[in-house]
Amino acid sequence: MSKSNFTRRGLLKTSAVAGGATLAAPQFFSPSWADGHAGYLNAPQGDTVTLGFNVPQSGPYADEGADELRAYELAVEHLNGGGDAGMMNTFSSKALTGNGVLGKKVAYVTGDTQTKPDAARASAKSMIEKDGAVMITGGSSSGVAVAVQALCQEAGIIFMAGLTHSNDTTGKDKKANGFRHFFNSYMSGAALAPILGANYGKDRKAYHLTADYNWGYTTEEAVRTSTEAMGWETVAAVKTPLTQTDFSSYIAPVLQSGADVLVLNHYGGNMVNSLTNAVQFGLRDKQVNGKNFEIIVPLYSRLMAKGAGANVKGIFGSTNWHWSLTDEGSKAFVKSFGEKYGFPPSQAAHTCYVQTMLYADAAERAGTFNPCGIAEALEGFEFDGMGNGPTLYRAEDHQCFKDVLVVKGKENPTSEFDLLEIVEVTPAAQVTYDASIFGGELGTCNPGA
């Protein structure tokens, strides 16, 4: 692994203004100016380029993190010409040839975000400062994504977000150096509403339970807006503490409220527990207002569905990608992942693999690892063959626009991975929104040196 030296933007200024006095460098000091010539931070030295895979390895999302890491390792293998090249064969851009990126072999370092913004930033910083990583990617929560994205902007390297679903990541908190392939709360709401309307009718009364933090707020708002637009009424929206494990006291009053749909704006452990509790209360066997009581989970993942077990059966939600998709890209990815690890990839694995490929491809097309060059190559980039149909990396907010999957918990799973069935592939046009509605400023790209 190459350990490149790094300097900071402003180093020259420091040396000139304060360096003489405070850092009193003796004559034999020989600072390296190599990066200065390259014009950006952590320019790869020698014949390798180092990427930083920053995923949760401890804490509740450790399994999701482990799956992300598998995808990254697979992506690196494919980039370096190993394996069956996976989605590189189906990717519409043919810039990648399997001899690394820009002729440099891809190396990587890993770190543990612990799903805490502080720890995630510490880990990312060590990758930037110690290992000379030129790009950071990964993560399994929006809090972490926003925090690490801001860090990468300040430091001057590219951040390719992993699993992060909050509108804020490419909305209020968007950054010029940050890019997200995963979909967001708004898209979930927009994709779900028509399906819910078609299946459950347009005169439903919804009761929301919302995890009391940023992602919960944006998801509740998205689902409310889109369901109310088609005629649903929101009876109540109750915030639940993020650290809650037993949701009984929040679920018990639902039936009394006269609601006939329960929306669980929860993710991860929260979602597994609240859904389990709701099913335990027998809500789905009840009739309210002459209709069957229904439960909705706006954001699904296969790993969570596994945790909730039989409770997911028949419950609608949305997801970024699912291994049962039959387009060429998905098939190629499932095949190479499945053959290497023995089970199908999760949506987290998919988005991380795709993000790595997109980064590598952008570097190849830009002819440099300079963040500003890569950002330029990614902005407005249209591609296909990565599992979600034709996709656009929108220049205004660095968000991908692609098809969104509406899924339902499968009634008769044939294996422990076969838990969700695809109900509808909502076309990208239906979930596209104006880039300005969430506010925030991209700023300008920062190359760091």
Of residues 1 through 20, those in contact with another protein by CB under 8 A are 1-3, 5-8, 10-11, 14-15, 17-19
Q: What is the amino acid identity at position 43?
A: A
Our finding on whether 443 is near another protein (CB under 8 A) is: yes
Q: Is residue 238 involved in binding another protein (CB under 8 A)?
A: yes
277 binds another protein (CB under 8 A): yes
Q: Which residue has the tokens 């909050």?
A: 166
Q: Which of 95, 102, 230, 255 binds another protein (CB under 8 A)?
A: 255
Q: Rounded to whole angstroms, what are the CA distances from 85 to 77, 99, 199, 374? A: 8, 11, 40, 22
Q: Could you give the 3-state DSSP secondary structure of residue 376?
A: helix
Phi-psi region at 401: left, alpha or beta (left = phi > 0; alpha = psi -120 to 50): beta
104, 121, 402, 408: residue in contact with another protein (rule CB under 8 A): 121
- For residue 55, which phi and psi values (nearest 5 degrees)? -130, 155
How many other C-beta atoms are found inside a 10 Å radius of the C-beta of residue 30?
Answer: 7
By CB under 8 A, the residues from 412 to 431 that bind another protein are 414-415, 417-418
> Which residues in the 360-399 window bind another protein by CB under 8 A?
none
Of 95, 230, 242, 422, the one binding another protein by CB under 8 A: 242
Using an 8 Å Cβ cutoff, are 76 and 98 in contact? no
List residues bridging with 206 in a β-sheet. Answer: 234, 261
Q: Is 36 in the site for another protein (CB under 8 A)?
A: no
- For residue 43, give the DSSP letter: P
Say which residue the tokens 């989605």 belong to: 87
Of positions 282, 314, 367, 380, contacts another protein by CB under 8 A: 282
User: Binding residue for another protein (CB under 8 A) from 106, 134, 303, 375?
Assistant: 303
- Among 47, 129, 228, 233, the residue binding another protein under the rule CB under 8 A is 129
Least gap, CB of 428 to another protein (angstroms) = 26
For helices 142-155 and 214-229, angle between their N-to-C axes, nearest 10 degrees: 120
> Site size for another protein, by CB under 8 A?
118
Q: Report the distance separating Cα 204 and Cα 197, nearest Å.
A: 9
Q: Which is nearer to another protein, 186 or 401 (CB)?
A: 186
Instruction: Report the residue from 47, 203, 246, 382 that binds another protein according to the rule CB under 8 A.
Output: 246
Which residue's CB is nearer to another protein, number 57 or number 391? Answer: 57
Which of 81, 269, 389, 390 is the binder for another protein (CB under 8 A)?
269
**Residue 91: CB partners within 8 Å, gap ≥ 6?**
329, 357, 361, 383, 384, 385, 386
Q: Does 326 bind another protein (CB under 8 A)?
A: no
| Entry field: residues in the chain | 449
Q: Which residues of 77-93 are buried (b: 16+ CB within 10 A; e: fewer)?
A: bbbbeebebbbbebbeb
Nearer Cβ to another protein (212/384): 212
> Considering beta carbons, is residue 258 or 367 the nearer one to another protein?
258
Among 89, 102, 105, 125, binds another protein (CB under 8 A): 125
Tell me: does residue 116 bind another protein (CB under 8 A): yes
Residue with tokens 């060429």: 328
- Which listed residue (98, 231, 241, 367) binds another protein by CB under 8 A? 241
Q: How far is the CB of 8 from another protein (least distance, A)?
A: 5
Binding mask 58-77 for another protein (x = CB under 8 A): xxxxxxxxx--x---x----
CB 278 within 8 A of CB 264: yes
Is 437 one of the binding residues for another protein (CB under 8 A)? no
* The dihedral sign for the CA sequence 393, 395, 399, 402: negative
**Does the protein bind another protein through residue 171 (CB under 8 A)?**
no
Q: Do 174 and 436 contact (CB within 8 A), yes or no? A: no
- Does 146 bind another protein (CB under 8 A)? Our answer is yes
